[in-house]
């Protein structure tokens, strides 16, 4: 058992950390998330499916743990946003790239964890929807729908940072269908 856990760790720890880092606000949170994922794996190591499905199993545990954390954070934030701006104050000397990055991560933070995971896998890791669906155990249509909704939400939040013709640059499944007709 311990050997298998060690093999799992050596095989997937880096990949899981990369995904976790893109789902968390900072490196420490990502580190903790990966640790919790493997601790969960340690408790159920005999029930982890063999072969290529083991990575999918670990990813789903990681995303579910992230979702639990996200829910707790949502409760913690409460009504602070009523009286205080949610965005961090940006020093006037900060570069525009930094401002854009902060805006991007704030916009990603606003997405639900599953939706954010799908966006990260598709847009940053370049994974096709069929592969994402297989990894997360979802229907391909569900992945496409979440991707489309996430892009719309991000486009709305980041409108000022996108180019003038950003709508044309964003590809929606419905547009692809109509264009194909």
Partner 1 sequence: MKTLSNILRDADPLRDEAPRTAEARQQLRQTVLAAPRDVGQRRATPRLTLLAAAVLVIAGIVTTKFAWQHASVDAVAAVQFEARVAESGLTIAANRDVLTAHAVPGSKAGTFGIELTFTPEGAEKMRRATQEHIGEHLELLIDGKVVMAPLIRSAISTSAVLSGDYTADQTRQIIEGLIDEKLELRSKK
Binding site for partner 1 (CB under 8 A): 1-2, 5-6, 9-10, 13, 17-18, 21-22, 27, 31, 34-35, 38-39, 41-47, 74-75, 77-79, 81-87, 97, 100-101, 104-105, 108, 110, 119, 123-124, 151, 154-158, 161-166, 169-170
Q: For 22-32, b where at least 16 C-beta lie within 10 A, e where not — what string?
A: bbbeeeeebee
**Phi, psi values for residue 170, rounded to 5°:** -100, 125
State the Rg of the chain over Cα: 18
User: How far is residue 23's CA from residue 116's CA, in Å, rounded to a whole number?
Assistant: 7
User: How far is residue 129's CA from residue 87's CA, in Å, rounded to a whole number?
Assistant: 32
Pick the closer one to partner 1 by CB: 158 or 181.
Answer: 158
Pick the closer one to partner 1 by CB: 10 or 181.
Answer: 10
CB of 110 to partner 1, least distance (A): 7
CB of 162 to partner 1, least distance (A): 6
CB of 87 to partner 1, least distance (A): 6
CB of 84 to partner 1, least distance (A): 8
CB of 86 to partner 1, least distance (A): 4
CB of 165 to partner 1, least distance (A): 6
For the chain, how far is it from start to end, CA to CA, in angstroms?
54
Report how far apart, in Å, the C-alpha atoms of 107 and of each of 23, 57, 90, 159, 181 are.
Answer: 12, 27, 16, 11, 34
Two tokens, residue 38: 């493997």
Pick the closer one to partner 1 by CB: 86 or 139.
Answer: 86
Report how far apart, in Å, the C-alpha atoms of 146 and of each of 64, 96, 102, 151 are.
Answer: 16, 29, 23, 8
């Amino acid at each position: 058992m311990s050997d298998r856990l060690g093999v799992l760790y050596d095989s997937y720890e880096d990949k899981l950390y990369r995904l976790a880092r893109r789902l968390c606000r900072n490196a420490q949170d990502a580190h903790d998330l990966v640790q919790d994922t493997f601790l969960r794996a340690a408790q159920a190591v005999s029930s982890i499916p063999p072969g290529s499905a083991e990575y999918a199993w670990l990813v789903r545990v990681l995303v579910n743990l992230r979702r639990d954390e996200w829910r707790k954070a949502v409760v913690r934030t409460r009504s602070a946003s009523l009286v205080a701006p949610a965005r961090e104050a940006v020093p006037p000397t900060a570069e525009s790239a930094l401002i854009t990055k902060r805006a991007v991560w704030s916009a990603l933070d606003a997405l639900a964890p599953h939706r954010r995971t799908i966006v990260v896998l598709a847009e940053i890791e370049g994974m096709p929807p069929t592969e994402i669906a297989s990894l997360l155990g979802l229907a391909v249509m569900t992945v496409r729908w979440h991707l489309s909704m996430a892009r719309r939400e991000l486009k709305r939040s980041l409108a000022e940072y996108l180019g003038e013709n950003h709508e044309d640059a964003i590809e929606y499944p419905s547009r692809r269908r109509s264009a194909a007709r």
